[in-house]
Structure 1
Amino acid sequence: MSEVVRLTSLAHGGGCGCKLAPAVLQDIISRVPAAAAFPNLLVGTETSDDAAVWRLNDTQALVATTDFFMPVVDDPFDFGRIAATNALSDVYAMGGTPIFTLAIVGMPVNVLDPDTIGRILAGGASVCAAAGVPVAGGHSIDSVEPIYGLVALGLVHPDKVLTNKGGRAGDVLILTKPLGVGVLSAAFKQEKLDAAGYAALIGSTTKLNVLGARLPDVAGVHAVTDVTGFGLIGHALEMANGAGLTAVIDAQAAPLLPGVETLVQAGVRTGASTRNWASYGHRVEGAGEGWRRDLLTDPQTSGGLLIAVSPDAADEVLALARADGFDRAAVVGRLEAGSAGVRVA
């Protein structure tokens, strides 16, 4: 095939912006019959956590997750890297260490040549190699739109599993990566993203959240989730639901990727941001309207970790984050007593 096909032109959405809207997902899940109780299932679907966790023995639990989506960029290798980084993030968010992965591949084989598809898989494999795990197999289908991702499996001590429901009143909320991936990806698709913006997009989305595997050993870390398709507000709301507390988000404190503020003020945003707000906006106070709210609901493909930690341990977590290269990690809010919901300050 001589003509170069833009990967993003083959997909109606991209990255974690492909996720079903939170309200739609909840409606679908509510129709699934409840499963029988399994004593060894430590984490299931109860609080919309990042991965399932199954106790293997007294010292090991298996962390299992799957994540896949359509292209957020056109470069096949970069697409593979982003998708793999995003999938592994769910293991790290549970405090786990990945052990191996399986590839999920759906490709329009009559449109994309084998070399392009191979580069997508090679990009994913390169990230897995950096994480110290193999791609041990997988499954592929002929699909109308290009889809790539991973099943990711990891291990964690059963007593050290980190969930999104353990937050306590008084905890501060630390975000490890800047916001704005959805805005940059929208700008890319609209051909409004310059080279610096693209570099920022790739740099953020391909940075592994390895910090998560260190957090179980930090006294004072009570809850963790990763910020992906539902935006900062959406994932803070899941944390608030799990803890039965109010998550207070400081909109001014949330770090932003370079160039994002200018783009969003010019009206660049994703449709997923609007869908996110339509799903959970009735449970959010003080968000107002306009571009800042767009950023707080912006879908983050391979976003950072959101960590609920006691104030006296916050500096330790920030130091660990910066040692791992998360230079923009910052306190972006807190948990306080009150009804489960989010307030934007």
Structure 2
Amino acid sequence: MTATPTVRLTQYAAGGGCACKVPPGELERVLAGLPGGRGTVHTGEVGELLVGLEHGDDAAAVRIAGGRAVIATADFFTPVVDDAYDWGRIAAANALSDVYAMGGEPVLAVNLLAWPRERIPFELAAEVLRGGAEVALEAGCHLAGGHSIDDPEPKYGLAVTGMGDPDRLLRNDAARPGTPLTLTKPLGLGVLNNRHKATGERFEHAIAAMTTLNRDASRAALAAGCTAATDVTGFGLLGHLYKMARASGVSAVVDSAAVPYLEAARESHAAGHVPGGSVRNLDWVRPHLDASVSEDELVLLADAQTSGGLLIAGEIPGYPVVGEIVEAGEHPLVVR
């Protein structure tokens, strides 16, 4: 842990990172009935929509000529750390993750920037953009242009376009009973980021986790023949797993003792550094949950992550198995 910069970006935002997402229940009510699902009729030469609004997947996908799928997503959020460069790196890795979570490769991205020019030096915005550009370069993704506005709260992210095999996408509705569940990054990012915002303590290992691309995990999942995955971000492990189980018509069993956590995550939770989004996540899934663990454990499993790992229906070498997919039961989620 090291000192934070003079300008503490997290103090300019009510929320932070993916914890500032609209609560999942509210979001689903707003999206219900909107056009854009599979089967939507278009005129002209628009390709077949493979993945749309139906199951809350990480990105949308359209089949195009040449046996390819275009994958599109956008993701941005308020500062999750105080350092501008690190925030840019984290936000870019998080946005690119949506393409990796679908089994695609990012090709082109554009910046999305909101900045309070009268409150925070605009030079810091350049550091945010520099961080995003470096992560895009690491991913082999072009980052060209974008859009910026003057806004009371700083926000940054990317709109990303990727490509994939339309017959080998990783999606929410393709988890099958008898399949292990693999998690590719430890949990605890929400509570550590909340502690950082409250105290100014800097957690290098959390920043390293958030800036690690999910590229290798995505490629490994495809190589293993997996068909279902999601990234664990603002709705927490339980929230994203519930969406997968519901979309696939199965139940998911989590072995809480097998779930890895970042160092200092549990002590940060015990000290009260719990994002409001984590509590809302647990409230959302609770009616669909059969649990025999403590409330504290459930809050950590629902912790709102920023740029978390992939949760894959399948066993991936080098990553921990944290549960399994089973036949649909009384509860879509079971935690032991």
TM-score (normalizing by structure 2): 0.92
Q: Select the residue among 246, 252, 258 that pairs with 2:257.
A: 252
Report the CA distance between 1:133 and its aligned residue: 1.4
Structure 2 counterpart of 1:37, which letter? V
Task: Please say which of residues 280-289 and 85-94 is displaced more in the overlay.
Answer: 280-289
Output the CA distance in 2 between the equivalents of 1:289 and 1:29: 33
- Asked if 1:229 is matched to 2:234, the reply is yes
Partner of 1:330: 320
- Asked if 1:203 is matched to 2:193, the reply is no
Structure 1 contact 232–296 (Cα < 8 Å) conserved:
yes
Partner of 1:325: none
Report the CA distance between 1:288 and its aligned residue: 4.8
Q: Select the residue among 52, 55, 58 that pairs with 2:63.
A: 55
Partner of 2:138: 130
Report the CA distance between 1:5 and its aligned residue: 2.8
Structure 2 counterpart of 1:308, which letter? A
Output the CA distance in 2 between the equivalents of 1:216 and 1:177: 18
Q: Select the residue among 115, 118, 138 that pairs with 1:110.
A: 118
Structure 1 contact 96–161 (Cα < 8 Å) conserved:
yes
Partner of 2:219: 213
Q: Select the residue among 56, 69, 74 that pairs with 1:66.
A: 74
Aligned-residue CA RMSD (Å)? 1.6
- Asked if 1:7 is matched to 2:9, the reply is yes
Structure 2 counterpart of 1:291, which letter? D
Q: 1:130 to 1:280 in 2, by over 3 A?
A: same
1:61-210 residue pairs with structure 2 within 5 A?
61-191=69-199, 193=201, 195=202, 198-210=203-215
Output the CA distance in 1 between the equivalents of 2:36 and 2:52: 11
Structure 2 contact 89–132 (Cα < 8 Å) conserved:
yes
Which string of whole-angstrom CA distances, capped at 9 and with x for unpartnered residues, describes residues 155-204 of structure 1?
101111111111111100000000000010011011173x5xx1111011
Structure 2 contact 221–312 (Cα < 8 Å) conserved:
no
Which string of whole-angstrom CA distances, capped at 9 and with x for unpartnered residues, describes residues 104-148 of structure 1?
001001112121010001000010011111211111100110000
Output the CA distance in 1 between the equivalents of 2:292 and 2:152: 38
Partner of 1:37: 41
Which string of whole-angstrom CA distances, capped at 9 and with x for unpartnered residues, describes residues 66-122 of structure 1?
000000011000000000000000000111011110100010011121210100010
Runs of 4+ in 1 over 6 A off after TM superposition: none
TM-score (normalizing by structure 1): 0.90
Structure 2 counterpart of 1:342, which letter? L
Structure 1 counterpart of 2:256, which letter? A
**Secondary structure of the corresponding residue to residue 81 of structure 1:** helix
Output the CA distance in 2 between the equivalents of 1:79 and 1:101: 17
Count of aligned pairs: 324
Output the CA distance in 1 between the equivalents of 2:243 and 2:145: 32
**Secondary structure of the corresponding residue to residue 216 of structure 1:** helix
Structure 2 counterpart of 1:49, which letter? D
Report the CA distance between 1:289 and its aligned residue: 4.2
**Secondary structure of the corresponding residue to residue 264 of structure 1:** helix
Structure 1 contact 104–149 (Cα < 8 Å) conserved:
yes
Structure 2 counterpart of 1:272, which letter? G
Partner of 1:27: 29
Structure 2 contact 108–143 (Cα < 8 Å) conserved:
yes
Report the CA distance between 1:259 and its aligned residue: 1.2
Structure 2 counterpart of 1:60, which letter? R
